[in-house]
Amino acid sequence: MDIAGQKSSLSWAVHISVLALVALWLFPTVGLLVSSFRTADQISTSGWWKAMFPSQQNLTLRADAPELQVQEGGLYVIEGRLFPPEKPAEISVWGISSRAINSYTAGDTAPLKKGGTITVQADGRYRMENTEPFSGRRGQRIFVTATTPPEFTLRNYQNVLFDPENAEGMAKAFINTLTVTIPATIIPIVIAAFAAYALAWMEFPGRALLIAVIVGLLVVPLQLALIPLLKLHNEIGIGKGYLGAWLAHTGFGLPLAIYLLRNYMVGLPRDIIENARVDGATEFQIFTKIILPLSFPALASFAIFQFLWTWNDLLVALVFLIDSTGDTTVMTKQIVELLGTRGGNWEILATSAFVSIAVPLMVFFAMQKYLVRGLLAGSVK
């Protein structure tokens, strides 16, 4: 770390602080992710941080009813399992009275009030024996303290994504979001690439001014564009819909696209371009055959930005896309609605949110290199 030898104590402090920082930053997301794999009951009875560990619970269970008893030799016997095989648990202590729920440990045999005995094993198997028939209508109550292993379910995702009956499902919104995102990512790249080339490698009066204007437009708040553009869209008959959203995203993404691509293209070696010009290549050929392939990293950077931005956008969708029928709703809007109507149903909220977060996260981890590169080039120095 430093050239001097004073490492060890400080370096431990560094490791621990970074670990704490990472944990702090990761915790909220993990909470939501874990919750999306739990049932509504589990979510509302214990915090998600307890879900990863086996949990100890006090349960009140019932043995089988006396009508199921069998005769073995001279004994009347009721035998069974307190836990179904697919949901195993481990009993530590148990009891047969609500006032003494921990009188016996697993494997003990206890006398029953109305005669006979009961034995309960750790895995929940029990055996009741009596010399006379068991009477009564309902089974014996057994109070157990059991440790259940962590339990997760995929049912939330099934409900949210694949249940066609579910009007609040995310399947349609997912498709709609994709429909908005892809054209809104590709079209600005094409337009911006040509403009960036002109601004980087062609001489013409007003070039410096244009670049300055684009740097200025980079920070113009979206809010300013809402009313005038909605008005414009209504006047020329686009109204609310995909076309409007695509156009709006294209317009709003252009300054960054042009800025990023120009900065990158300016850095390309002059010789290649001049040589091509001398060899008689037209500007159009130079652009498509040389500049575009060389600019791939910058194109990828912008594509990721624009993809994340359009996928995660709420405001543009609210204003330009979603009409009163709600047929074109996107995931962010759907989630906001759920926050209003299903504020307490965390199994639905967490799962829906994760469905929408998953795709950007995948893109993020797969293409982080380009994202970082773009950020470094994009912040005005």
Interaction with other proteins in 181-240: which residues (CB under 8 A)?
182-183, 186-187, 190-192, 194-195, 197-199, 202-204, 207-208, 210-212, 214-229, 231-232
Please pick, from the candidates 63, 89, 254, 303, the single residue that binds other proteins as defined by CB under 8 A. 254
For residue 287, give every residue at least 6 positions away whose Cβ sits within 8 Å of its Cβ, in sequence order, or none.
193, 194, 197
User: Is residue 4 within the footprint of other proteins (CB under 8 A)?
Assistant: yes
Contact 61, 74 (CB under 8 A): no
Q: Give the shortest CB-110-to-other proteins separation in angstroms.
A: 31
Indicate the residue among 142 and 377 with the shorter CB distance to other proteins. Answer: 377
Please pick, from the candidates 106, 128, 247, 260, the single residue that binds other proteins as defined by CB under 8 A. 247
Query: With the C-alpha atoms ordered 30, 36, 37, 40, is the resulting torsion angle positive or negative?
Result: positive
Contact 123, 91 (CB under 8 A): yes
Q: Which of 86, 17, 32 is nearest to 354 (CA)?
A: 32
Contact 262, 211 (CB under 8 A): yes
User: Is residue 375 within the footprint of other proteins (CB under 8 A)?
Assistant: yes
Cα–Cα distance measured from residue 192 to residue 186, given in angstroms and rounded to the nearest whole number: 10
Q: Give the shortest CB-109-to-other proteins separation in angstroms.
A: 35
Indicate the residue among 126 and 305 with the shorter CB distance to other proteins. Answer: 305
Contact 349, 339 (CB under 8 A): yes
User: Is residue 89 within the footprint of other proteins (CB under 8 A)?
Assistant: no
Centroid of chain to Cα 9: 38
C-alpha radius of gyration, the chain, whole number? 33
User: Is residue 48 within the footprint of other proteins (CB under 8 A)?
Assistant: yes
Q: Give the shortest CB-79-to-other proteins separation in angstroms.
A: 35
Site string for other proteins, 337-366 (x = CB under 8 A): --x------x--xx--x--xx--xx-xxx-
User: Is residue 53 within the footprint of other proteins (CB under 8 A)?
Assistant: no
Where in 16-35 is the site for other proteins (CB under 8 A)?
17-19, 21-22, 25-29, 31-32, 35
Query: What are the structure tokens assigned to 377, written together?
Result: 């080039």
Quote the strand ranges of the chain, DSSP E: 55-62, 70-72, 75-81, 90-95, 104-105, 109-111, 117-120, 125-130, 141-148
Indicate the residue among 103 and 345 with the shorter CB distance to other proteins. Answer: 345
Indicate the residue among 6 and 98 with the shorter CB distance to other proteins. Answer: 6
Contact 114, 132 (CB under 8 A): no
Beta-sheet strand order (sheet of 70-72): 70-72, 75-81, 125-130, 117-120, 109-111
User: Is residue 251 within the footprint of other proteins (CB under 8 A)?
Assistant: yes
Q: Give the shortest CB-257-to-other proteins separation in angstroms.
A: 9
User: Is residue 332 within the footprint of other proteins (CB under 8 A)?
Assistant: yes
Antiparallel, parallel or unpaired: β 75-81 and 125-130:
antiparallel
Q: Give the shortest CB-328-to-other proteins separation in angstroms.
A: 7
Indicate the residue among 104 and 354 with the shorter CB distance to other proteins. Answer: 354
Where in 285-314 is the site for other proteins (CB under 8 A)?
287, 308, 311-314
Contact 70, 77 (CB under 8 A): yes
Where in 121-140 is the site for other proteins (CB under 8 A)?
none
Q: Which stretch binds other proteins (CB under 8 A): 67-75, 87-95, 127-135, 282-290?
A: 282-290
